[in-house]
Amino acid sequence: MLAGSLVKELSPLPESYLSNKRNVLNVYFVKVAWAWTFCLLLPFIALTNYHLTGKAGLVLRRLSTLLVGTAIWYVCTAIFSNIEHYTGSCYQSPALEGERKEHRSKQQCHGEGGFWHGFDISGHSFLLAFCALMIVEEMAVLHEVKTDRNHRLHTAITTLVVALGFLTFIWVWMFLCTAIYFHNLSQKVFGTLFGLLGWYGTYGCWYLKSFSPGLPPQSSSLNLKQDTYKK
């Protein structure tokens, strides 16, 4: 994020396909990033956790991480929207000329052909960082999964791993594109910090507690991560 922002401020790149908000990756992936992440992590968590524990109750408990993630996504985007609303004003042009004080909301402003300008925290920076980190956390369970004796399970998990790996690549790539082409530095910093806070607040703190969805199943040899978090 910082490197991309420096490029944007010091040596802006020429406009390209990726700088267009209507590019395929942005429209069909980033705009629905949480839906993609949710839909691929759900079967992955269910299959790997049931394979390791054999306990449906524990699997349901671990799947609740997706509900927590959904809540984090919803709350943070609502916060961003409210901040932009309360710090914004409507103008006649993108150059912020001719303030139109009669329009008090972004929707009303856009509906009348105006341009709303407020502190627009980067939702892309938040969501792409949060989704990528969550996928990495959940895929750590692969150290424990042994599917040599079950061809169908091996195929299913391998397919999901490839899909999640590809999705993570897209999230990281589009995170960089966001840093290079969109928003100012402070907006991206706040967005990224919200994503990091959502990740660390869950996997680094809450999920270590007994009254939580818990971390992915780990053997005693992998508990070093949990001990490190506690320290």
- Exposed/middle/buried for 193, CB within 10 Å: 0-12, 13-18, 19+? middle
Cα dihedral 138, 34, 133, 40 sign: positive
Does the annotation mark 143 as catalytic?
no
Q: What's the alpha-carbon Rg for the chain, to the nearest Å?
A: 21
Helix (H, G, I), strand (E, B), or coil: what is residue 176? helix
Nearest to 120 by CA among 183, 180, 78: 183
The answer to whether the CB of 66 falls within 8 A of the CB of 40 is no
Question: Which residues have a Cβ under 8 Å from the Cβ of 61 and sit 6 or more positions away?
Answer: 213, 214
Length, in residues, of the chain: 231
Please pick, among 85, 117, 124, 151, the residue that the annotation labels catalytic: 124
Q: What single DSSP character describes residue 90?
A: E
The residues, any chain, with a CB within 8 Å of residue 94's CB and separated by 6 or more, are 115
C-beta separation of 123 from 191 below 8 A? yes
Among candidate residues 70, 73, 179, 79, the one with its CA nearest the CA of residue 120: 79
Does residue 183 carry a catalytic annotation?
A: yes
Active site amino acids: 124, 183
